[in-house]
Amino acid sequence: MSDTTADPVHDALDAFIGTVFWSDDDVSLEVALAEAIDDWVAMASAEFNASRPFVDVVSDDALRSGILQMAAAVEMLSDLLLPGMTMAHALSDAAADWLDAA
């Protein structure tokens, strides 16, 4: 029996959540997700937006800020540079990149 599904988004998020769950409370899901999204946004910004934010967000909530930035990035990138880019694709990439760095 395979540990993977036909859905790469599911597989990436499942691995991400499993890693956080089994981390012995080294990091919370909220913090890990905010870090993963922030790292993805930073890479996308450096590569496609001259290291500028995709949208101005003022919030003490790191997860909210990251999700808003990611949504703005996906909107810009899917319209101009990366047709087919979706939030699911961006989120699974962020999770996979975080796992690679963990």
The pLDDT score that the predictor gives to residue 5 is: 62
| Tens digits of residue pLDDT in 38-90 | 999 999 999 999 999 999 988 899 999 999 999 999 999 988 778 888 999 89
* 66 within 8 A of 37, measured Cβ to Cβ: yes
pLDDT at 80: 79
Could you tell me if 65 and 57 are in contact, meaning their C-beta atoms sit under 8 angstroms apart?
Answer: yes
The answer to whether the CB of 70 falls within 8 A of the CB of 40 is: yes
Please give the model's pTM, rounded to 2 decimal places. Answer: 0.81
- Is pLDDT of 18 > 70? yes
Provide the sign of the torsion angle of the four alpha carbons 12, 14, 15, 16, taken in this order. positive
Distance CA 93, CA 90 (A): 5
| Contact by Cβ (8 Å): 89, 71 | no
Residue 4 confidence (pLDDT): 56
